[in-house]
Amino acid sequence: MMLSLPGWRSRLSYHLAGPLAVLLAVAVLAINEAGYRADADLVARRDAAVETRLTVGRARRMVLLMESAQRGYMLSGKADYRVPYDEARAQTDQVLQSLRALAERAPTHRQNLLLLIDATQKRVSELAEVVRLFEANERDRALALMLTDIGREQMERINELVEEVVRKEEAASGSAGRQRERVRIWTVLALVGLVLLCLGAAFTAMRLNRERDRERAGHVQDLQAERDKLEHEVARRTQDLSALAQHLQTVREDERRRLARELHDELGGLLTAAKLDVARVRKRLQEAGPEVLERIRHLGETLDAGIALKRRIIEDLSPSSLANLGLQRTLEIQCAEFSQRAEVPVEASIADVGLTDERELAIYRFVQEALTNVAKYARAKRVQVSLQPDGDHVSVQVRDDGVGFDPSQARNGAHGLAGMEFRVQSCGGQWLVQSAPGQGTLVQARLPA
């Protein structure tokens, strides 16, 4: 019994559907793998091309920077123009090492890169020789060497080599892009066929997705509850730590006041008694020899210095002038004493503002720590201290023109800044630090009045 034509076609389609789907899936996987490898190769080539361009461009920029800085230095004779030259020259070894490493990894550019290294070394040597002659007061020879065509030829040679490397990289990138485009077209065609076969499984996938959505919603609710619990715990721990830090700060201030009282009562009494004894001994030794009198005088001066040191330490520990003279006069005295000790001019602009004792002490400690940092690290030539009303707040600033630093980088000994920030925040204030290498530092606090 022969099969009817429609039944035969239906059975043939049924039997071929599975193998065709498998073959098409294998073809898609093969083309997709080829596309993936082509993409990976293109990405690798693109990364290598970017690295190559950056490396050769860095070499060219270094030489151009040295050349412009050298000419500015020779024209002006100012040391400021020498700084970018020295900085660029300090990068020479690193740049040349990068070119050598690139030449090892890129055989297609090896010859051009080796020639670029040689031309760069020659140009750098020539620039260094011109600077050496200029600083040796052989300016005519330096100018003659600078005006020769050697430097221009070397610079043209460097530009030609860099442009040649860039052209080769652009050509390689274009070829890889065309190959990737061909693979992409075949991948799209294969994916279209596979999508047609996958439509039959869409209903099942939708059912699975609905079940997964229900499970996901349950997981999200669990995660939300756990997150709320963790946030509550973190907030509680943060509040506990803030309270502990505030307590430790209060304890430290109390300990400073206690130590100041001990120094004033005990050490102050001892030093005063010793000074009185020296005065009595001096009266009885008027007839003694000059050597003994000189030693007695020196001992008296030493005791005076010790008493002055004791007073300064006591003021640093617990500034009695805050209660006796007020914040304005205390800060003016603090700035004057710092200027005398550090031999740095301090421009103080201190207004008379009304604050609580806690906030006056916070501002005093803020300025004290800022001036200490200036003395330790800034190497400043001028310092500005300002305390001014700012609406319903007061603003205190300490600015210096020192070496500065990068606030985003961790620094050893930066606990002083952290302590300043916490002290300001514990008084309900806002904290700001602005600095950059070579541009000085500004620390600012803004507290409610």
Report the pLDDT value the prediction gives residue 9, as an integer from 0 to 100: 46
CA distance 324 to 226: 55
pLDDT over 80 (residue 215): yes
Q: What is the pLDDT of residues 370-421, one digit of tens each?
A: 998 998 898 899 999 999 998 889 999 999 999 988 888 756 555 677 777 8
Query: Does 10-206 match 324-449 in CATH topology?
Result: no
One of 1.20.120.1730, 3.40.50.720, 1.20.200.10, 3.30.10.20 is the CATH number of 10-206, namely 1.20.120.1730
Give the confidence band of 442 by pLDDT, cuts at 50, 70, 90.
very high
CA distance 382 to 360: 25
CA distance 138 to 124: 19
Are the CB atoms for 174 and 47 separated by under 8 Å? no
Give the pLDDT mean for 186-199. 72
Residue in this structure with the two tokens 């506990």, named with its chain if needed: 240
| Closest by CA position to 142, among listed 127, 121, 120, 124 | 127
Report the pLDDT value the prediction gives residue 12, as an integer from 0 to 100: 46
CA distance 99 to 95: 6
What CATH code would you report for 324-449? 3.30.565.10
| Tokens matching residue 81 | 């123009």
Write out the H or E segment, with its range, that includes residue 447: strand 441-448
Q: What is the pLDDT of residues 315-363, one digit of tens each?
A: 666 676 777 788 889 888 889 988 998 899 999 999 888 888 888 888 8
Contacts of 108 (CB under 8 A, 6+ apart): 168, 172
* Helix 92-105 vs helix 5-76: crossing angle, to nearest 10: 150
C-alpha distance from residue 303 to each of 122, 236, 262 (Å)? 67, 53, 18
Per-domain boundaries in the chain: 10-206, 324-449
Are the CB atoms for 165 and 112 separated by under 8 Å? yes
